[in-house]
Amino acid sequence: MKKLKSTYYFIGRLTPTELCMKFNPREIHLSNGWVIDIFMDGISIWKPGVAENFDNVRPLIEETIDILVTTFVLITGIQIKHGIHQWVEAKGVKAYSNLIGWFMPRGWKLVTPNSKNRLNSAWRKAGKNCLEIRSSINHRLALMDYKNCISTYGDDVFFYAYRIIEDIRRAVTEHLPDGLDDKKYWSEMHKILETSEKMIRPLTEVATRIRHGDVNNAIVTKARNNKKHIIEIAFNVMKREFKRKFKGLM
């Protein structure tokens, strides 16, 4: 029996709440028909006329929202997190607007959708590019390693930061054939992004020691006291590539 098309709604929250009170970027329409609605710390995504069952839809939604929110963090530097906690399937219904509403906390001033603040602009930019990022494996991996890097404490931050650069190197050099000398790929990345081996060396040195378990090395000890500066090397390289690849994002 043919499954009736339904309208799916996935509902979640952004945290911490106090950082989200100026979010109201209007509906964000994705090219695959899904619509994202963000209001303060509430987030929902919905689509009318979906024939797939829940088990097939859920992974797509979770990955899309993950990319959207992490891209927003990359653009703004505001470290928020998200969770999708509920879902509704309106069976046999093709809705043409969002049915999810949010209670506004007392005392909070409503930010209208027309407010041209940089946060709402960042949400729209993230939404415009999130499916393209999702379809590019190396850019998506860089974004996930970025998420792990900013969410991790201890020496693992250097490991994830260096992985970001490796992901970006593969993304930038996708036009080159496989099997070349490794130095050619690095050289091509440096040429295109205007980076250099010297620029990334502090991160390379500490990440190499971390990978080999040499956590008591003097280079690692020194890097712990300069952690923010060193991982910013990876973020800098990543932002250069995302600016180049995804027009208008950064």
Residue ranges making up the domain that contains 209: 137-245
Residues 163 and 94 in one domain: no
pLDDT tens across 61-75, in order?
A: 999 999 999 999 999
Mean pLDDT of the 211-232 span: 93
Mean pLDDT for the chain?
Answer: 92
Q: Provide the domain count of the chain.
A: 2
Looking at 92-101, 160-169, 182-191, 200-209, which range is the least confident one?
92-101
pLDDT of 109 higher than 60:
yes
Note the pLDDT tens digit of each residue in 112-149: 776 578 999 999 999 999 999 999 999 999 999 999 99
Say yes or no: 100 and 191 in one domain: no
- Flag whether 128 is in a domain: no
Residue at token pair 């927003």? 72
Residue 8 has pLDDT above 80, yes or no: yes
In a domain, 235, yes or no: yes
Q: Please indicate, yes or no, if residue 119 is contained in any of the structural domains.
A: no
| 150-to-154, 156, 225 alpha-carbon distances in Å | 11, 10, 17
* pLDDT of residue 108 exceeding 90: no
- Helix 227-245 vs helix 54-76: angle between axes, to the nearest 10 degrees? 110
**pLDDT > 90 in the chain, percent:** 75
Q: Tokens 């205007």 map to which residue? A: 194
Give the Cα-Cα-Cα angle 9, 10, 11 (nearest 5 degrees): 115
Verify that 192 and 109 share a domain, yes or no. Answer: no
Q: How many CA atoms lie within 13 A of 188 on its CB side?
A: 17
Q: Is residue 121 part of a domain?
A: no
Residue 131 lies in a domain: no
98 and 15 part of one domain: yes
pLDDT value at 111 more than 80: no
pLDDT of residue 114: 62
Q: What is the Cβ-side half-sphere exposure of residue 175, based on CA atoms within 13 angstroms?
A: 4
